[in-house]
Structure 1
Amino acid sequence: MALKIDPTQCTNCGTCESVCPTSSIAEKKGVYRIDAATCSECDGGDPECMDNCPVDGCISYA
C-alpha cells in the first residue's frame, strides 16, 4: 500500500516533500504526488508526510 495526496486539499507548501525519507514525493506542474513504487510508508511507523502536513486529511492511505 502507498500514500496519496489529495490535490484539492493540498496547499502546495512542500512540507511533505522535505520530510520524506525516501524522496518519494515530488511536485510536477504545481501538484505534489507520491511515488507508490518507492514510498515505504516510513516502514510501519507514522508516515512523516502525514505527521507534518498542515492540512488534516490531505494525505491518506491509497
Structure 2
Amino acid sequence: MAVPKQKRSRSRTHHKRAKIYKAFSVPVSVCPNCGAPKLPHRVCLNCGHYGKKQVFEVAE
C-alpha cells in the first residue's frame, strides 16, 4: 500500500483545494417575468414569481 513519505504542508493542501472549489460555479438563470437574474428552481426575489405564478407580493 502506498504511504506518503512526508506530511503535506498546509499551503500545498489549500492550494490544491482552491482549484477544486473554483471548478464549481453557481448557475444563474433569468426570470421570465421581469428578466432579473435568479437561481434556478427558486422564486424570483425581484418580482415574486415562480414560473408563471405569483407566489408572494414584493414590498416596493
TM-score by length of 2: 0.19
Larger radius of gyration: 2
- TM-score normalised by length of structure 1: 0.19
- Which fold has the larger relative contact order, with Cα–Cα distance below 8 Å and residues 6 or more apart in sequence? 1
